């Protein structure tokens, strides 16, 4: 089997089974980023004021082709949290309106709902069972939460705690009169994507997770009929630009103030580099197969049935752990669970342990990227079998 691990700068001797949280960028892409930064610092005016627009256009075109969207409908944002906040703050909602999401939604995105909650909008959490037996349970649960006051559904494409692929296309199709914001933080590079056929009003996705770009590169795809209302969180030069060669959506999102644009410019680099190791469909298939095989090892060690069918997984997989027996662990942006700490400190395994769906129930999640190998999940399974 190819050993891709040396192509990443990951700490030697560590079983890094948490690509999901923040991704990990290969050495070659980091080097390309360094070159871009050096070019920027050699002639900042040339780079930022003259070359950048064309470079962003190229990056957007490559990304659009990869995710099945028109480059004109894509805006770069630094991360999915910003993508979600951008949409929520742009919506003209009224007190009493409702936004439906699920109890598998990511913490920062739940917090993003507060901006509307502070204006009297109600967040409604559809309960999606965990364990579950099929995607219809997600659809049923979301549809049951819809009322005549529902103005938006915010739904994950791949859930963070449970690593499930939610049936977002079906949800969009079943809600012709309600706009859907898909939080696709994990989807680009994990799942084959065709934003056009998903048809959501809004879709945000990270490139720094499964596309392996440097951190701070994500996109927001806004359907053409919703772009006029969309405003970036930061108002910059683009807001009063007299230019007519580009629309306001493009102008406003492309210039939010001086910043390092190299994470976005590395998108075409990462797409090409990863494809040179293995075609993208094979990367996705291999990562999925590894997550499934890794999960089987953990399930066997814990002697429990699968909590979700294999076809609902991408390259993340979670398994329930016995209920938590200590004091409630604290969530400080990410969980820093005592068992997670023990895995790292005693066994050199990095894998997130989360309280889910609620205290004292908990789970552990594995990720599979091409630098991982099955023996790494085997070592985690052994720890689970014998107790840490």
Ligand X SMILES: Cc1ncc(COP(=O)(O)O)c(C=O)c1O
The minimum distance between CB 158 and ligand X, in angstroms, equals: 7
Q: Of 21 and 342, which has the nearer Cβ to ligand X? A: 21
- What is the number of other CB atoms lying within 10 angstroms of the CB of residue 309? 13
Interhelix angle 280-302/267-277, rounded to 10 degrees, is: 70
Contact window for ligand X (CB under 6 A) among 27-35, 178-186, 295-303, 339-347: 178-186
What long-range pairs does 133-141 form, CB within 8 A, spacing at least 24? 133/308, 133/309, 134/309, 134/312, 135/165, 135/166, 135/167, 135/170, 135/312, 136/167, 138/102, 138/164, 138/166, 138/167, 138/171, 139/167, 139/170, 139/171, 139/174, 141/102
Q: Of 154 and 381, which has the nearer Cβ to ligand X? A: 154
Q: Which of 18, 33, 79, 227 binds ligand X (CB under 6 A)?
A: 79
The minimum distance between CB 145 and ligand X, in angstroms, equals: 19
The minimum distance between CB 246 and ligand X, in angstroms, equals: 26
Q: Of 47 and 219, which has the nearer Cβ to ligand X? A: 219
Q: Of 186 and 221, which has the nearer Cβ to ligand X? A: 186
Please give the residues from 29 up to 58 whose contact with ligand X meets the rule CB under 6 A: none
Q: Which of 24, 109, 128, 212 binds ligand X (CB under 6 A)?
A: 109
Distance between CA atoms of 112 and 271, rounded to whole angstroms?
30
The minimum distance between CB 241 and ligand X, in angstroms, equals: 27
Q: Does 108 bind ligand X (CB under 6 A)?
A: yes
Indicate the pairing of strand 98-102 with strand 316-321. Answer: unpaired
Q: Does 106 bind ligand X (CB under 6 A)?
A: yes
Token pair in block for residue 144: 């049951």
Q: Does 185 bind ligand X (CB under 6 A)?
A: yes
Instruction: Show the site string, 133-172: x = touches ligand X by CB under 6 A, - = not.
Output: -----------------------x---x------------
Contact window for ligand X (CB under 6 A) among 59-67, 88-96, 104-112, 362-370: 104-112
- Could you report how far apart the first and last alpha carbons of the chain are, in Å? 30
In sequence order, the β-bridge partners of residue 335 are 331
Size of the site for ligand X (CB under 6 A): 13
Q: Does 179 bind ligand X (CB under 6 A)?
A: no
The minimum distance between CB 186 and ligand X, in angstroms, equals: 6
Question: Is 367:189 a contact under the CB 8 Å cutoff?
Answer: no
Q: Does 213 bind ligand X (CB under 6 A)?
A: no
Question: Is 217:36 a contact under the CB 8 Å cutoff?
Answer: no
Distance between CA atoms of 193 and 67, rounded to whole angstroms?
5
Distance between CA atoms of 147 and 302, rounded to whole angstroms?
41
Distance between CA atoms of 291 and 295, rounded to whole angstroms?
6
Q: Does 80 bind ligand X (CB under 6 A)?
A: yes
The minimum distance between CB 177 and ligand X, in angstroms, equals: 25
Q: List residues binding ligand X (CB under 6 A).
A: 21, 79-81, 106, 108-109, 156, 160, 183, 185-186, 206
């Amino acid at each position: 089997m190819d050993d891709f691990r040396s192509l990443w700068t990951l700490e030697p001797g560590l079983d890094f089974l948490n690509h999901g949280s923040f991704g990990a960028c290969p050495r070659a892409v980091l080097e390309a980023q360094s070159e871009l930064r050096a070019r920027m610092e050699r002639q900042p005016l040339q780079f930022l004021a003259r070359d950048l627009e064309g470079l962003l256009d190229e990056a957007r075109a490559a990304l659009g082709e990869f995710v099945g969207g028109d480059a004109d409908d894509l805006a770069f944002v630094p991360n999915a949290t910003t993508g979600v906040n951008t949409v929520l703050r742009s919506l003209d909602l009224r007190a009493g309106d409702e936004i439906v999401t699920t109890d598998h939604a990511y913490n920062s995105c739940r917090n993003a709902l507060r901006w509307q909650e502070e204006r009297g909008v109600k967040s409604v959490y559809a309960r999606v069972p965990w364990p579950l037996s099929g995607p219809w349970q997600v659809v049923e649960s979301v549809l049951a939460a819809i009322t005549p006051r529902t103005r938006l559904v915010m739904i994950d494409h791949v859930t963070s705690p449970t690593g499930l692929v939610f049936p977002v296309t079906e949800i969009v199709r079943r809600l012709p009169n309600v706009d859907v914001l898909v939080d696709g933080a994990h989807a680009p590079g994990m799942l084959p994507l065709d934003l056009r056929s998903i048809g959501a009003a809004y879709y945000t996705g990270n490139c720094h997770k499964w596309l392996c770009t440097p951190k701070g590169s994500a996109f927001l795809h806004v359907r053409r009929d919703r772009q006029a209302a969309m405003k970036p969180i930061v108002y910059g030069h683009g807001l009063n630009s007299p230019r007519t060669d580009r629309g306001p959506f493009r102008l406003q999102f492309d210039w939010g103030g001086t910043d390092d644009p190299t994470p976005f410019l590395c998108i075409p680099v990462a797409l090409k580099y990863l494809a040179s190791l293995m075609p993208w469909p094979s990367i996705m298939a291999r990562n999925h197969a590894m997550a499934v095989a890794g999960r089987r090892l953990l399930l066997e060690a814990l002697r429990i049935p699968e909590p979700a069918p294999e076809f609902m997984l991408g390259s993340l997989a979670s398994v329930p752990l016995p209920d938590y027996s200590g004091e409630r662990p604290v969530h400080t942006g990410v969980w820093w669970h005592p068992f997670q700490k023990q895995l790292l400190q005693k066994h050199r395994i990095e894998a997130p342990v989360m309280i889910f769906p609620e205290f004292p129930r908990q789970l552990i999640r594995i990720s599979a990227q091409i630098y991982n190998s099955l023996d790494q999940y085997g070592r985690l399974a052994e720890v689970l079998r014998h107790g840490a």
